[in-house]
Amino acid sequence: MSGARAKSFGDLLDDLISSEQAERVEVGAAPTLQGDLLDQIERLQASNAPLFEPAARRAYSEPTLAPEVLEALDTLMPELSTDPREIALELGIGGLRTAAELDRARRRFAFENHPDRLAPHLRDRAAERMGIANGLIDTAKATMAEQ
């Protein structure tokens, strides 16, 4: 067959798919749901039925701390400074020489200062501190890349 053309990859795939389709055994129709889920939700909402038990609502609500507990936490927590110079000192940026060291400093700072790890009343300040720390580290990495 010197005149036969070589099959392209697409032709080979078409042949393979058609041979698999010919070999398939028909198993019947796929199962279907007998109810309309959206209809059920609309019925529950229309009847004003609670979708969650009160206990579940309480379990997932933000805890509120008594004022004396908040005061005790404040005395135990160090001052959360938002001064970039102080955050740079906490990070130790001056002594870090590689991008990997900066990444480790970012992870360590996040572990110690991430808003999700602190009391609710400290989260806004912690988020601000994280933003400043990330900015300092990104700037230090960009400066390293330029050199």
What confidence tens digit (pLDDT) does each residue in 17-42 have?
Answer: 777 666 665 666 666 666 777 777 77
| 49 found inside a domain | no
Question: Tokens at residue 40, please?
Answer: 């059920």
**pLDDT value, residue 122:** 81
| 85 found inside a domain | yes
d(CA 31, CA 28): 9
**pLDDT value, residue 128:** 93
Q: Does residue 2 register a pLDDT over 60? A: no
**pLDDT value, residue 22:** 60
Q: Using alpha carbons, select from 111, 109, 112, 116 the residue that is nearest to residue 135.
A: 109
Q: Using alpha carbons, select from 64, 61, 65, 81 the residue that is nearest to residue 73.
A: 65
| 97 found inside a domain | yes
Burial class of residue 136 (count of CB atoms within 10 Å of its CB; 0-12, 13-18, 19+): buried
Specify the higher pLDDT residue, 122 or 101. 101
| 18 found inside a domain | no
Question: Tokens at residue 130, please?
Answer: 């994280």
Count of the separate structural domains present in the chain: 1
| 84 found inside a domain | yes
Contact by Cβ (8 Å): 63, 120: yes
Give the pTM: 0.51
User: Range of 105's domain?
Assistant: 79-146
| 68 found inside a domain | no
126, containing H or E segment: helix 123-146
d(CA 115, CA 62): 14
Question: Tokens at residue 26, please?
Answer: 């028909």
| 127 found inside a domain | yes
What confidence tens digit (pLDDT) does each residue in 38-94 have?
Answer: 777 777 767 765 656 666 666 666 666 677 776 776 666 667 888 999 999 989 988
| 86 found inside a domain | yes
